[in-house]
Amino acid sequence: MATRHHPFRISPRARRTRAAVLLSACALALAGCGSSGAPDGAAATVPGIVDASLFDPAGLAAPVTEEDCTLSSGKIATCLRIQLKGAPADHDVGPFCPRTVTDPTGGIWFKDGSLYDLDGPFVKGLSSLYDDPAWKLYDETTGAVRVTDTRESCLAAARPDVDPAYENYCVECSLDDVGDGGGIVRTLLIPRRPEPRATPAAVAGVSAVGAAFNGVAFDLPAPVGAIIAHHTIAALDDCGGHVNFVVGYHYHAATGCSREIGTGDGHAAQIGYAIDGHAMHATADAHGAPPTDLDACLGHRDAVRGYHYHVAGPGENRFIGCLQGEIASGGGGEGLPPGGGGSTPCAAGQTSACCGDGTCDGPESAADCAADCR
Ligand SMILES: [Zn+2]
Ligand SMILES: [Zn+2]
């Protein structure tokens, strides 16, 4: 294989901004977002209770508010309405695609649990990596990488049925082109106090897996199968994020860029909250090792923090394995069809997005639910 494999040690240092963002394989229409803001309903720093003060205010479109909500169990609870700005408060966006087959600059890509530097040589080696000679993201004569560097090309390449003209492209586009220019606000409704589920639920039916403290959503797994089927690469930047026209900038990997809240006891830092209100911590603790007692959801419990998750390694195209807590109905936030809510019940073990069309792990398309395609 002509590609270089890097076990995930991506510099958390933000790199130069090219104000470029990526558009994944499907991204069409679908609701905007929004919601009104009101003064913060202060959350106490108590284990097991969501602490809104941990979010960087610069990453929020409005102060966090509290409201009554109905959980997936039917129980009435208190939820926090968190409006993520959709542009990271603490790092630049991009770069994504290299410009030539020798360009050392680019983002990252993942395959089968491994993370790769998305540089020029990686692009050149794609046919070997995927054992498919149809991969050719570059001009053989000039060595120039084909990149969707205009709004129009991003839109065309981002269609679920990728415009044939944009097959064999490295897909990225400018953050300036989405939302009002600079991002799309993402509203999440998260139970203030996590409510344990009787049995774990699949991470599906939600428009986001969780919220990072810097104003970016941790998203559902990218539909890698659909992306590579069209010989496209939906490039991630070194921070594990990219952009589409449905939800703006979002993460598919946690590489250590976003705001971390240290635990003070050597335990892995907290990086955000999951959609069920449980804390999300970094993969590894101060010694560089992930906990050894994680359950299938990638969570465990300790006396200090209660139940919490440790996110998967950045090559895994997922953050957690399943949900141990109830989620708010309708709490998936924007990106879901009207009335689709956040609680479409997919069985544990199913991994595909499912957002109200009744299809779990089935063939998803923009026709049945565009929001499934990220
Ligand atoms: Zn832990
Ligand atoms: Zn994506």
Closest ligand, as measured to the CA of 224: 2
The CA 293 to ligand 1 mean position distance, Å, reads: 9
Residue 328 DSSP one-character state:
B
The CA 287 to ligand 2 mean position distance, Å, reads: 30
Ion ligand 2 neighbours (CB, 5 A) are 24, 222, 374
Closest ligand, as measured to the CA of 207: 2
Closest ligand, as measured to the CA of 308: 1
Residue 120 DSSP one-character state:
H
Residue with token string 């009744």: 358
> For residues 252 and 219, is the Cβ–Cβ distance under 8 A?
yes
Closest ligand, as measured to the CA of 223: 2
Q: What's residue 347's pLDDT?
A: 42
The CA 244 to ligand 2 mean position distance, Å, reads: 7
pTM above the 0.75 mark? Answer: yes
Give the Å distances, CA to CA, from 42 to 23, 31, 51, 66, 348: 36, 29, 8, 8, 34
Q: What's residue 330's pLDDT?
A: 64
Nearest to 230 by CA among 132, 345, 121: 132
The CA 305 to ligand 1 mean position distance, Å, reads: 8
The CA 281 to ligand 1 mean position distance, Å, reads: 7
The CA 199 to ligand 1 mean position distance, Å, reads: 20
Closest ligand, as measured to the CA of 291: 1
Quote the strand ranges of the chain, DSSP E: 65-70, 76-84, 108-111, 114-117, 169-170, 186-191, 196-201, 210-212, 217-218, 232-233, 241-244, 248-251, 270-274, 279-281, 299-302, 306-310, 323-325
The CA 341 to ligand 1 mean position distance, Å, reads: 30
> For residues 340 and 331, is the Cβ–Cβ distance under 8 A?
no
SS3 309: strand
Give the Å distances, CA to CA, from 312 to 158, 161, 275, 318: 26, 30, 16, 6
In the sheet with 76-84, reading across from the earlier edge strand, the strands are 65-70, 76-84, 186-191
Strand partners, 110: 115
pLDDT tens digit at each of 374 positions of the chain: 333 344 333 333 333 333 333 333 223 222 222 222 223 333 335 678 999 999 999 999 999 999 999 998 999 999 999 999 999 999 999 999 999 999 999 999 999 999 999 999 999 999 999 999 999 999 999 999 999 999 899 888 876 677 888 999 999 988 888 888 788 999 999 999 999 999 999 988 787 999 999 999 999 999 898 889 999 999 999 999 999 888 899 999 999 999 999 999 999 999 999 999 999 999 997 778 889 999 999 999 999 999 999 999 999 999 999 999 999 986 443 333 322 233 333 444 433 444 333 344 444 443 344 344 33
What span, in angstroms and rounded, lies between the C-alpha atoms of 254 and 310?
Answer: 11
The CA 192 to ligand 1 mean position distance, Å, reads: 19
The CA 313 to ligand 1 mean position distance, Å, reads: 14
> For residues 366 and 238, is the Cβ–Cβ distance under 8 A?
no
The CA 119 to ligand 2 mean position distance, Å, reads: 19
> For residues 293 and 306, is the Cβ–Cβ distance under 8 A?
no
What span, in angstroms and rounded, lies between the C-alpha atoms of 44 and 51?
Answer: 6
